[in-house]
Amino acid sequence: MSKRNESLNDLGIVSINLESLRYNYKVIKGTLKIKTKIAAVLKANAYGLGIEKIAKTLQKAGCELYFVATLKEGIELRRFLKKSTILILNGPPKYIRKVYQEFEKYKLIPVINSVDDLNSWISLLKQEKDNSTIALHFDTGMNRLGIPNHNLAEVKKSIKNSNKLNIFCIMSHLASADDEQCITNKIQKKLFDKIIFEFPNTLTSLANSSAIFNLKNYDYSFVRSGGGLFGIDPNKKNRDLKNVISLKAKILQIRDLENEPVKSIGYNSTYSVRSSLRIAVLGIGYADGYPRNLSNNGYGIFKGKKLPIIGNISMDYMTVDISCIKDKEINVGDCVELIGDEITIQKVAKLSETIEYEILNNLGYRLQKEYINSKK
């Protein structure tokens, strides 16, 4: 069973297989220690796939913990998940009472990323009757957001001086979990173990999707998985993961090129027509998030046959060579697969020299979403 969102544009369709999403959740769960939980990371509208459907599917699969990036995302997610635990990775956008009240109203947990942020939150609590639950994010080597390791004593002092704080978890983020040989992983784990020793009986989290499959003994209380749930495993350590998304583009026009006055295709004439050629124009371009650098480099799939992308991909269109297909086997209105089982998101990312996460997040708002195996 499948459902499509309401849209007048069906030139490009992203299909999201919710059964594969449920399956991947179970696969990841099966790789972990018995007591380790999965926290689903659903930033940026669940990587652009639609947070409501994704969150509800994962909740039914057994997921209880969720991370999003911003307060706004957390408030939206709370509309669908009434009882689940939701953490906000960026922490409070401002340290004012109105923001504090929003966190309390929607029962959201801020992730605190610096000593200044911690002290600002504690100052707010002096005006309030109730305690507040927070998460502490320590930087152990990512050198991005996070409380520096050398601020540990100051953090402990601030917490000790406040009687209104509950610590939900201690967490950190791995910089090179996709490379199991990288020494950074061991350095970060050693620092993390030193930090959590100071917070006994507190939940802990270090592993992201890559660490789940690449690194042993990094599970702790819960892991944080985003891309892994959608079938992304950069090192392909777990071949059981299923592809969750596919991208198809509708054919707008089919043409036979023989004696054209200009013997090239698309902007800047980057593809020369040396003989007769049959082409199909597809209704997807770089405005829909398909990588422009796959011009004359990528390909689509139709009934198992490769259709090379020829000429520069433009804002709304791309052209593929369909000379390998007989006349009546392909028609205007048919769809060509650009991401799917035969050309995975990993393959598209490799061809375009980027990462799978960028491809996933860039798939544009104009694309129609179709949810497959949707359960009410």
Residues catalogued as catalytic:
43, 267
| 335-339 and 245-257 strand pairing | antiparallel
DSSP character string of 81-145: -SSSEEEETT--SS-SHHHHHHHHHTTEEEEE-SHHHHHHHHHHHTT-SS-EEEEEEEESSS-SS
Q: How many CB atoms lie within 10 A of CB 324?
A: 13
- Angle at the Cα of 122 (from 156 to 90), degrees rounded to 5? 90
Q: CA 51, CA 80: separation in Å to the nearest integer?
A: 9
Neighbouring residues of 279: CB distance < 8 A, sequence distance ≥ 6: 254, 255, 257, 265, 310, 319, 320, 321, 322
Q: CA 263, CA 325: separation in Å to the nearest integer?
A: 21
Q: CA 337, CA 12: separation in Å to the nearest integer?
A: 10
Q: CA 186, CA 108: separation in Å to the nearest integer?
A: 32
DSSP character string of 30-79: HHS-TT-EEEEE-HHHHHTT-HHHHHHHHHHHT--EEEESSHHHHHHHHH
- Chain centroid to CA 66: how far? 13
CB contact at 8 A, 203 and 222: yes
Q: Which residue's structure tokens are 């307060």? A: 71
Kindly state the helix (H) or strand (E) to which residue 196 belongs, with its residue range.
helix 183-196
